[in-house]
């Protein structure tokens, strides 16, 4: 009797662990779902857009997203506790099918997410939502990556529409448009490709403004990522001294040093933002 109960408990625990292993990270899962939604938008644009070069931009981005989805599917299959059960009992084959660069095929992956959410318990979903709130910096970084993909694609489509048919234009192909969008959103501005029409310049200005915002967020995240372990160690050392009843003046000095480091980090971020603004001003002067 006890053996059967223990076996049943082990089976329930194994099933719970298997369900938890399917979800890599709540922030990451939301990012992948957002990619799927944008892939569906690309599927609609794939059918509606008539200009051949704009269509190539959509196809290139769609293939890139499909590659990410396919790598994600392989990763999930490899890390699954039981690959055969994952492919059939947890419908992992939908992941592979939904990774193909075919219009609307990503609906298969969305169906997989719906099935998995139905298999998760309410307590597991609440635990994931708590992790998302606690890891706001990681959520922001993934949102920035998604925004960069969307902005680069839309800007490439718009710039081709604005520059098409102009004799003096130097942005003609999907490759030209994607290259110009990437260097502009990164506020690099090589100057080899540039818009000559007023609508194209408006797209360029908007893209530079968005790029400053995106890279500011990324810079802040990286600064926090590098400084967080060091800051946590120092705070733990201060707390241990407090528990042990150490010298209060030494604790105050340690806190002051930590504040000075944070101020220096903020000043460095501000200096990088000003440098990016200067680059934009120089680009505007050259294009004006």
CB within 8 Å of 239: residues ≥ 6 apart? none
- Give the pTM: 0.68
Q: How far apart, in whole angstroms, are the C-alpha atoms of residue 182 and residue 187?
A: 9
The answer as to whether 255 is a domain residue is: no
What residues make up the domain containing 48?
1-134
pLDDT given for residue 235 in this prediction? 54
pLDDT given for residue 55 in this prediction? 93
Q: How many CB atoms lie within 10 A of CB 58?
A: 23
* Token pair belonging to 282: 């120089």
pLDDT given for residue 129 in this prediction? 53
The answer as to whether 249 is a domain residue is: no
pLDDT given for residue 229 in this prediction? 54
pLDDT given for residue 43 in this prediction? 92
Q: How many CB atoms lie within 10 A of CB 122?
A: 7
The answer as to whether 68 is a domain residue is: yes
The answer as to whether 25 is a domain residue is: yes
pLDDT given for residue 155 in this prediction? 94
> Mutual orientation of helices 198-244 and 136-163 as an angle, nearest 10°?
170
The answer as to whether 286 is a domain residue is: no
pLDDT given for residue 241 in this prediction? 52
Residue with tokens 């990681």: 138
pLDDT given for residue 42 in this prediction? 93
pLDDT given for residue 250 in this prediction? 65
Q: How far apart, in whole angstroms, are the C-alpha atoms of residue 254 and residue 271?
A: 26
The answer as to whether 64 is a domain residue is: yes
How many residues in total does the chain contain? Answer: 288
In a 10 Å sphere around its CB, with 0-12 CB exposed, 13-18 middle and 19+ buried, how is residue 250 labelled? exposed
Handedness of CA 154, 158, 164, 167 (dihedral sign): negative
pLDDT given for residue 245 in this prediction? 47
The answer as to whether 145 is a domain residue is: no
The number of folded domains in the chain is 1
pLDDT given for residue 136 in this prediction? 62
> Mutual orientation of helices 122-134 and 136-163 as an angle, nearest 10°?
80
Residues of the chain with pLDDT under 70: 1-24, 119-138, 221-254, 261, 264-269, 271, 285, 287-288
The answer as to whether 141 is a domain residue is: no
């Amino acid at each position: 009797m006890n053996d059967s109960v223990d076996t049943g408990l082990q089976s329930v625990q194994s099933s719970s662990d298997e369900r938890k292993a399917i979800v890599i990270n709540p922030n990451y899962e939301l990012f992948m779902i957002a990619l799927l939604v944008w892939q569906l938008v690309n599927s609609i644009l794939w059918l509606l857009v008539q200009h051949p070069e704009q269509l190539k931009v959509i196809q290139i981005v769609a293939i890139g997203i499909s590659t990410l989805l396919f790598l994600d599917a392989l990763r999930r299959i490899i890390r699954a506790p039981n690959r055969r059960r994952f492919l059939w009992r947890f419908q992992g084959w939908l992941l592979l099918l939904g990774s193909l660069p075919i219009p609307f095929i990503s609906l298969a992956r969305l169906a997989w997410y719906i099935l998995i959410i139905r298999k998760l318990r309410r307590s597991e979903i609440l635990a994931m939502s708590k992790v998302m709130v606690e890891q706001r910096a990681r959520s922001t970084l993934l949102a920035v990556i998604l925004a960069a993909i969307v902005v680069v694609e839309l800007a490439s489509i718009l710039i081709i529409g604005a520059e098409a048919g102009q004799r003096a234009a130097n942005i003609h192909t999907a490759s030209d448009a994607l290259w110009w969008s990437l260097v502009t959103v990164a506020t690099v501005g090589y100057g080899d490709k540039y818009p000559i029409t007023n609508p194209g310049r408006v797209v360029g200005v908007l893209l530079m403004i968005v790029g400053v915002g995106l890279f500011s967020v990324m810079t802040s995240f990286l600064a926090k990522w590098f400084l967080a372990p060091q800051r946590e160690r120092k705070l733990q050392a201060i707390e241990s001294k407090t528990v042990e009843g150490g010298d209060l003046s030494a604790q105050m000095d340690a806190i002051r040093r930590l504040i000075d480091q944070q101020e220096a980090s903020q000043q460095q971020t501000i200096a990088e933002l000003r440098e990016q603004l200067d680059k934009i001003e120089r680009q505007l002067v050259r294009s004006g």
